[in-house]
Amino acid sequence: MLRVITAALAIGVAMAGPAFAEMHEVQMLNRGEAGPMVFEPDFLQIEPGDTVKFIATDPAHNAESIPEMAPEGAETFKGKINEEVEVTFDVEGLYGIKCLPHYAMGMVMTVAVGEVTEVPESYLEGRIPPRARERFDAQRSNL
Amino acid sequence: MRKSINVEQTVTSRRNVLRGTAFAGAAALTGGAAHASLLSRPMPKTPRMGHSRPVITVESAPDTMAEAAPADLSGLERVRQELVDPPFAPEHEQVASGPPKIVEIEMVTHERLMTVDEDSGASIWALTYNGSVPGPLIIVHQDDYVELTLRNPVESVMEHNIDFHASTGALGGGGLTHIYPGEETVLRWKATKPGCFTYHCAPGGAMIPYHVCHGMNGAIMVLPRDGLKDAEGNPLRYDSIAYFGEQDYYLPRDDNGDFKSYDTAGDDYADSLEAMATLVPTHQVFNGAVGALTGANALKAQVGETVLMVHNSCNVDSRPHLIGGHGNYVWETSFTDPPLTGVETWFVRGGCAAAAMYTFEQPGVYAYVNHNLIIAALKGATAHFVVEGPWDNALMEQVVAPRPFEG
Ligand SMILES: [Cu+2]
Ligand SMILES: [Cu+2]
């Protein structure tokens, strides 16, 4: 199960829930250390139940899942442009995330949830723009 | 923990239902993936610039497409149209011979560094169809099919597509033609409406004006099968076509006020959005650059020659005026309505292409301008016709050359 929740709720969760559920922040930027159009950081290793907050630091970006690049049983999500979203990842596995308008420019990130040691076979077989593929390949080396 | 999340989801479930509907089309296009409930928090205010929500979504193909019956085009002849660089027009017939055809064309989405103004050194990583700003003029007849092969070279940085205002459905074809670098697509559509129409790139959201304001637009002319006519139905024919693309550029400046330069296409994205949001172009030019159609690049014509001036303006309103001449016949919108006649200054709505016909009666230089003369003189929207032939004193004569006078 994957859920997107509000920040107000997340605070409630943090206080009420077990101490190990963490919040990770990712900025959506026009330019970062890796070049133009980036998620920063562009790789996260998190635990099941952790939440990732996508922050619209620069305008005109969104964060959404790539259905072909998610573990079986995981739900997809699609943030709106300029919107801050929080996504809770419950299903273990590897997730590809993209910014829709800047997918061709390589604005992608990888979230590894739980024990992920290898990339599923079908993971990079879909229709992926060359610049996004390059960055996915680089992010994979963090595993 | 679970409980509190469930409570929150129930509270906002109505919003989720609405969102789900909005995404249904997208899901159909991307392979039917179900979208999760999404409770997202709008930014209270954007950190860098005012920003309204884009209302244009990227995916747009209806899910009934897969069930549609195939079109029967078996009897139609196929012809290939070789597109040429502006300000010229491809070879074409003014009156269609024979029944409707399938007109095959090819366009490549080249991203290239272009000089906008040699004097100031202003440049842009132009996003183009076939390397030119505007994109090439396409000419077909009503009821012809346009079959476009659109290619995005693998060395490109950006995704492109095309929205033909002349076409019907799928956001003008924009919803069916998104291509990443290294991809190609083929779109066929029927030209049901006669007139001059804009086409442009429309990748979605802020990328739409970004691509349009980097040159990614052009015109298609859909002629009536029996050619152009006046209000009485008499044929109107031209000897040549002059194709103008009016382009508004919003070039970012550095702290010294100098125009910035960038290493690759797309690098100017953030600066560009800020400059575009001012709605004040730094340049507004014909055919890609200041002076692209003046001086040595001026258009040539003869006295007695009838020229059809096709003017595309994808983004900004324009009011072209031919200094020293007129618009004898002007079609501001479609070829279905009779043309305006004897027009002094006509109107090109932003997001539109228009046609004006004129027969030169005197030799000399004619300036074709946007008659907002600030835009013509300071922003660049000026072109020249240099016309050769005999002078007609019955139309105009210099009775006294400038001389000093007493008293
Ligand atoms: Cu982005
Ligand atoms: Cu484009």
Token pair listed for B308:
């059809």
Alpha-carbon span B137 to B243, nearest angstrom: 7
Alpha-carbon span B371 to A130, nearest angstrom: 45
In chain A, how long is the greatest CA-to-CA distance? 44
Tell me whether residue B65 is one of the annotated catalytic residues. no
A-chain residue closest to B158, CA distance: A104
Q: Cβ of B181 and A131 within 8 Å?
A: yes
The verdict on B204 and B279 lying in the same domain is no
H/E element, B231: none
- Give the three-class secondary structure for B233: coil
Residue numbers of chain A with a pLDDT score lower than 50: 1, 6-17
Tell me whether residue B216 is one of the annotated catalytic residues. yes
Domains and CATH numbers, chain A: 22-140 (2.60.40.420)
CATH number of the domain at B373, please: 2.60.40.420
- Give the three-class secondary structure for B313: strand
The verdict on B349 and B253 lying in the same domain is yes
All residues of chain A having their beta carbon less than 8 Å from the beta carbon of residue B54 are 81
**Is B167 within a domain?**
yes
Q: What is the pLDDT along chain B (407 residues), one digit of tens a residue?
A: 222 222 222 223 333 322 322 233 333 333 323 333 333 333 333 333 333 343 444 455 677 888 899 999 999 999 999 999 999 999 999 999 999 999 999 999 999 999 999 999 999 999 999 999 999 999 999 999 999 999 999 999 999 999 999 999 999 999 999 999 999 999 999 999 999 999 999 998 899 999 999 999 999 999 999 999 999 999 999 999 999 999 999 999 999 999 999 999 999 998 999 999 999 999 999 999 999 999 999 999 999 999 999 999 999 999 999 999 999 999 999 999 999 999 999 999 999 999 999 999 999 999 999 999 999 999 999 999 999 999 999 999 999 999 999 98
Comparing CA positions, the residue from B238, B220, B245 lying closest to residue B334 is B220
pLDDT for B73: 95
The verdict on B282 and B146 lying in the same domain is no
Tell me whether residue B321 is one of the annotated catalytic residues. yes
**Is B1 within a domain?**
yes
> What is the number of structural domains in chain B?
3
Cβ neighbours for B354, distance < 8 A, ≥ 6 positions apart = B196, B310, B311, B320, B330, B331, B332, B333, B346, B347, B348
Model ipTM?
Answer: 0.79
pLDDT for B10: 26
> Domain limits at B310?
243-388
All residues of chain B having their beta carbon less than 8 Å from the beta carbon of residue A136 are none
Q: Are A69 and A95 in contact (CB under 8 A)?
A: yes
Alpha-carbon span B41 to B39, nearest angstrom: 7
How does B14-50 read in b/e, with b if 16+ C-beta sit within 10 Å? eebeebeeebebbbbbbeebebbbbbbbeeeeeeeee
**Is B3 within a domain?**
yes
The verdict on B263 and B374 lying in the same domain is yes
pLDDT for A51: 97
The verdict on B222 and B87 lying in the same domain is yes
**Is B201 within a domain?**
yes
**Is B208 within a domain?**
yes
Q: Cβ of A82 and B36 within 8 Å?
A: no
The verdict on B353 and B279 lying in the same domain is yes
The verdict on B101 and B209 lying in the same domain is yes
**Is B280 within a domain?**
yes
**Residue B218 CA, ligand 2 centroid: distance in Å:** 12
pTM for this model (two decimals) = 0.84
